[in-house]
């Protein structure tokens, strides 16, 4: 497969569900009666919890409300086309059935099931691409993993051994036992280019179509990963993705209620796509196995907008007219999609940078409803816009272009 063939589904999908789920959902931001600041999945590090203490959480992890079909339906209802879930985060706990350690959800918890297997099957059944987040560098449980300097002496770590005798065999399990894997989502970067190249070649030797994200490091990813919640302020060439949260944490925190409004999520999706990227939006399920209702409600609203306006997002190319002040622009062959975030009070909108003649202009939500356009110098002017926007979050006007 050449690069374009490998990237084709990613460029079409544009919008995915990120899932951070693990033992950290039990403390949910609290430890010994104290609120631990920062992102929930970092609690072991922030509170410097000894391995022997943190691993006791496994005995209490029994997400009886987990239902893979429900989670996949939430993703589908949101208009998400791929899913990336934490197989192993920095705390080292394995959310999948692995032979490399008993510190995993099947052996060490009363749940005894492999939720990764159930999710992989549900995604395949519903046509959602499925991938794993895998922390290949930070591992606060394994003596040779990086990052835990409160239980282990960093000078005694053999990281290359960790990669070759632990990480690679686990990647083989993830790439062998769960069907087609769309993405291996590495994190933090790999310390050396040699080890990063070894990991890339290893992954592709098992599933050649699997995409590897930019956080493998050393430019060895198939696409660039932006910083958390970071959206560039300009069009960025090539394939890239913004990983983002709905509130302020990846792993569940009981007291993080700072949920972004659905309109903000829609406009971030449009903003990212208009600059050439994908939006990987996170949910942090509870220790009972439920995606928090505020997330579900917001994702449903985003899905409602996409059901009407998805043509302007899925498979769309970045803006050829830059980043306008009134909203954003996405593009397809012969069409421009003007995303009006701000609504002109006088029914008139001036658009700069449009080259070529407009054959027809209309509302994507109401294709029979024509929008009048005329040229004024090098500007295209939309007139007769109604007093109120068609959509509360983002009204899309389609310009069908000549040629
Ligand atoms: C990492 C993790 O530490 C975090 O827990 C979460 O999984 C997030 C998605 O990824 O955090 C990062 C990693 C890299 C950057 C920022 C946060 N970065 O490169 O800016």
Mutate to test the pocket of ligand 1, among 85, 86, 228, 284 (most ligand atoms within 8 A of CB): 228
User: What are the residues whose beta carbons fall under 8 Å from the beta carbon of 238, sequence distance 6 or more?
Assistant: 223, 224, 276
Pair 130, 82: CB distance under 8 Å: yes
Instruction: Give the residues across from 380 on adjacent strands.
Output: 351, 375
- Going by alpha carbons, the residue nearest to atom 6 of ligand 1 is 250
CA gap 71, 63 in Å, rounded: 13
Q: Domain 3-312 falls in which CATH fold?
A: TIM Barrel (3.20.20)
Pair 29, 35: CB distance under 8 Å: yes
CA gap 223, 9 in Å, rounded: 13
What pLDDT shows up at residue 1?
Answer: 87
CA gap 153, 299 in Å, rounded: 44
Give the closest residue to 285 by CA, choosing from 15, 84, 120, 66.
66
What pLDDT shows up at residue 403?
Answer: 74
Pair 6, 213: CB distance under 8 Å: no
Pair 301, 368: CB distance under 8 Å: no
Q: How far is the CA of 109 from the centre of ligand 1 (A)?
A: 27
Pair 58, 23: CB distance under 8 Å: yes
Whether the model clears a pTM of 0.95, i.e. scores above it, the answer is: yes
Q: Classify domain 327-401 by CATH architecture.
A: Sandwich (2.60)
Tens place of pLDDT per residue across the chain (403 aa): 899 999 999 999 999 999 999 999 999 999 999 999 999 999 999 999 999 999 999 999 999 999 999 999 999 999 999 999 999 999 999 999 999 999 999 999 999 999 999 999 999 999 999 999 999 999 999 999 999 999 999 999 999 999 999 999 999 999 999 999 999 999 999 999 999 999 999 999 999 999 999 999 999 999 999 999 999 999 999 999 999 999 999 999 999 999 999 999 999 999 999 999 999 999 999 999 999 999 999 999 999 999 999 999 999 999 999 999 999 999 999 999 999 999 999 999 999 999 999 999 999 999 999 999 999 999 999 998 999 999 999 999 999 999 7
Domain definitions of the chain by residue range: 3-312, 327-401
CA gap 277, 80 in Å, rounded: 14
| Residue burial 335-346, b: 16+ Cβ < 10 Å; e: rest | bbbbbbbebeee
Query: What's CA 77's distance to the chain center, in Å?
Result: 16
Q: How far is the CA of 125 from the centre of ligand 1 (A)?
A: 30
CB count in 10 Å sphere of residue 361: 19
CA gap 222, 109 in Å, rounded: 35
User: What are the residues whose beta carbons fall under 8 Å from the beta carbon of 29, sequence distance 6 or more?
Assistant: 35, 36, 40, 43, 249, 252, 253, 254, 255, 256
Cβ < 6 Å from ligand 1: which residues?
Answer: 39, 41-42, 187-188, 227-228, 243, 250
Q: How far is the CA of 352 from the centre of ligand 1 (A)?
A: 37
Q: How far is the CA of 60 from the centre of ligand 1 (A)?
A: 27
Q: How far is the CA of 290 from the centre of ligand 1 (A)?
A: 23
221: three-class secondary structure by DSSP = coil
Q: Alpha helix locations (H) across 192-334?
A: 193-206, 262-274, 293-309
What pLDDT shows up at residue 40?
Answer: 98
């Amino acid at each position: 497969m050449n690069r374009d063939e490998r990237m084709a589904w990613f460029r079409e999908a544009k919008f995915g569900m990120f899932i951070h789920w693990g033992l950290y959902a039990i403390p949910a931001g609290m430890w010994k009666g104290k609120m631990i600041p920062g992102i929930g999945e970092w609690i072991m590090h922030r509170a410097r919890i000894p391995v022997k203490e943190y691993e006791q959480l496994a005995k209490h992890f029994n997400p009886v409300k987990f239902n893979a079909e429900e989670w996949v339906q939430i993703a589908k209802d949101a208009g998400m086309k791929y899913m990336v879930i934490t197989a192993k985060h920095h705390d080292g706990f394995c959310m999948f059935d692995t032979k490399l350690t008993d510190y995993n959800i099947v052996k060490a918890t009363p749940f005894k099931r492999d939720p990764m297997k159930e999710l992989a099957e549900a995604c395949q059944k519903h046509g959602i691409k499925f991938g794993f987040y895998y922390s290949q560098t930070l591992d606060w449980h394994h003596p040779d993993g990086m990052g835990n300097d409160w239980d282990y002496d960093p000078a005694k770590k053999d990281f290359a051994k960790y990669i070759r005798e632990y990480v690679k065999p686990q990647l083989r399990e993830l790439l062998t036992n769960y069907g087609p894997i769309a993405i291996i989502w590495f994190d933090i970067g790999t310390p050396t280019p040699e080890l990063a190249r070894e990991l890339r070649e290893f992954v592709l030797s098992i599933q050649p179509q699997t995409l590897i994200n930019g956080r493998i490091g050393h430019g060895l990813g198939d696409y660039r990963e932006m910083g958390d919640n970071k959206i560039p302020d300009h069009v960025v060439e090539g394939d890239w993705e913004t990983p983002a949260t709905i509130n302020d944490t990846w792993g569940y925190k009981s007291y993080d209620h700072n949920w972004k409004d659905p309109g903000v999520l829609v406009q971030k999706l449009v903003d990212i796509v208009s600059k050439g990227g994908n939006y990987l939006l996170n949910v942090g399920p509870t220790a009972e196995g439920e995606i928090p209702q505020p997330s579900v409600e917001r994702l449903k609203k985003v899905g409602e907008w996409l059901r009407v306006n998805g043509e302007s997002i899925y498979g769309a190319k970045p803006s050829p007219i830059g980043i306008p002040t009134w909203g954003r622009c996405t593009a397809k062959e012969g069409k421009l999609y003007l995303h009006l975030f701000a609504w002109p009070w006088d029914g008139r909108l001036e658009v700069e940078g449009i080259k070529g003649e407009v054959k027809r202009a209309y509302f994507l939500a109401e294709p029979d409803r024509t929008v009048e356009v005329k040229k004024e110098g090098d500007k295209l002017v939309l007139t007769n816009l109604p007093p109120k926007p068609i959509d509360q979050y983002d009204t899309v006007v389609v310009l069908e272009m000549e040629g």
